[in-house]
Homo-oligomer: A and B are copies of this chain.
Amino acid sequence: MNVGNSAKVSIITIGDELLIGQVVDTNSAWMAQELNIAGFEVHHRVAVGDIWDDIWEALDQESQRSNVVLITGGLGPTADDITKPLLCQYFGGKLVQDAATVRHLEYLFAEVFRRPLSERNLKQADVPDVCTVLSNIRGTAPGMLFKNERAVFISMPGVPHEMKGLMTYHVIPLLQEHFNPGFIEHRTLLTAGIGESDLADLVQTFEQALPGFIKMAYLPHFGMVRLRLTARGKQEEKQSFISILDSQFAQLQEVVKHVLVVNEDISMQALVGRLLKESGTTLATAESCTGGYIAHLLTAMPGSSAYFNGSVVAYSNSIKQNVLQVSASTLESAGAVSEETVIAMAQGLLAVMQTNYAIAVSGIMGPDGGTAEKPVGTVWIAVGDQNRLITRKLSLRYDRIRNIELTATNALNLLRQFIQE
């Protein structure tokens, strides 16, 4: 490829649904992450609608800015998908049928979908004769690679798992083959119990003394703040730069040690899962206000059945009584959202689930259900084992979804502290 030695990557996402907000663009984040790991930097991302002139202009502009332009979306079989004819015209080609894609479509419809291959589906095999076809083993629309004097352009479907296959099997290997990527290395740690500003004060001296090739970023999320150090450089500098990065990262951990949760870029649930797995112990949850979200966070991870036994989502009081054996008198005197109730829920859960650890939560997530005494955002958490339970009260002040997320993360963090103590 006649595109110089180092790659500058732009991502263009195409689709009206992105501009009217009907769909959240998760593709770009995934692509950026994978490219980063492979040593490539995305420095510009743009979203345009299914509009001929806007897409055309984006191709012009991004290829002036970058020498690699990755395009997702607009390749479906329906009339609102105009990317393919546009690319054909942009690069001065004409549509021809690609034999390998026809064979793949025949296979897909005969063996996987088990329905007839329609004329409309067969059109997915028509590609501009000026592109290199990249096979899409997970779907019907192939990837297409184009070149001009400014850049390499690769067009992929917007369906996430199809795009991911193309990126993994074609795009990243191609870029690695044809460009000499610099290196990008991140070191990320997670803190809890400190706000972004206080954390910034804490690390100010450290931050100002960082060498120029290392950049620090603050990433607040779910009430916790991650700190990320990023080193960038040329391949030949990699070894020495990374050793400096590691030593700086060790220093940073010292500076924040009283609020440090973990010195890796992993989620709280992954951390808790690992602690349980390593110690061969098990967990169950009794969830009122989080409604199964803690269980979902844990079970979304492969292999969680090794340490997660299950959950009682006790949304109604009758389930707190019947399944978790919370007494009617506790519910009446202290209320469903109280320290007494979450302790009783955790005890009942340990009895019925026979796990080593229990998490129990009850709260008022909003927008309704608050009282003067227990306003929306009041949450009680209990975590522990057969011998000991500890509790915490939260006073949240966000919307329902965020309150659910924050409660889940806080409950998992409390269990982490309990286990690590």
Binding site for B on A (CB under 8 A): 16-26, 28-34, 36, 41-51, 54, 61, 76-80, 112-113, 115, 118, 120-121, 140, 159-161, 184, 186, 195-198, 200-201, 207, 215-221, 226, 228, 230, 265, 284-285, 287, 290-296, 298-300, 302-305, 308-316, 318-319, 322-323, 352-354, 366-369, 397-402, 404
State whether A315 touches B319 (Cβ < 8 A): no
CA A315 – CA B242 in complex, angstroms?
A: 42
State whether A354 touches B318 (Cβ < 8 A): yes
Q: Which residues of B contact A294 (CB under 8 A)?
A: 292
Expressed in whole angstroms, the minimum distance between the Cβ of A162 and any Cβ of chain B is: 11
Q: Which residues of B contact A184 (CB under 8 A)?
A: 20
Q: Which residues of B contact A121 (CB under 8 A)?
A: 197
Q: Which residues of B contact A23 (CB under 8 A)?
A: 29, 219, 221
State whether A197 touches B120 (Cβ < 8 A): yes
Of B24, B195, B302, which contacts A29 at CB under 8 A?
B24
Given contacts A21-B33, A78-B218, A218-B76, contact A316 B310 (CB under 8 A): yes
CA A323 – CA B95 in complex, angstroms?
A: 61
Q: Which residues of B contact A161 (CB under 8 A)?
A: 398-399, 402
| Further pairs besides A20-B32, A296-B296, A310-B313: 14, Cβ < 8 Å | A18-B29, A20-B33, A21-B42, A22-B219, A22-B228, A23-B221, A44-B54, A79-B207, A80-B215, A80-B217, A121-B197, A291-B308, A299-B315, A302-B366
State whether B32 touches A19 (Cβ < 8 A): yes
Q: Which residues of B contact A77 (CB under 8 A)?
A: 196-197, 200
Of B34, B201, B398, which contacts A118 at CB under 8 A?
B201
- Protomer copies: 2
State whether A318 touches B314 (Cβ < 8 A): no
Q: Which residues of B contact A216 (CB under 8 A)?
A: 79-80
- Identify whether the interface residues of A are mostly helix, strand, loop, or mixed: mixed
Given contacts A293-B296, A295-B291, A303-B368, contact A46 B49 (CB under 8 A): no
Q: Which residues of B contact A366 (CB under 8 A)?
A: 302
Residue among A20, A51, A79 with most chain B CB within 10 A:
A20
Q: Which residues of B contact A296 (CB under 8 A)?
A: 290-293, 295-296
State whether B36 touches A219 (Cβ < 8 A): no
Residue among A54, A120, A366 with most chain B CB within 10 A:
A120
State whether B46 touches A18 (Cβ < 8 A): no
Q: Which residues of B contact A36 (CB under 8 A)?
A: 20-21
Expressed in whole angstroms, the minimum distance between the Cβ of A386 and any Cβ of chain B is: 17
Of B113, B287, B300, B312, which contacts A323 at CB under 8 A?
B312
Expressed in whole angstroms, the minimum distance between the Cβ of A116 and any Cβ of chain B is: 10
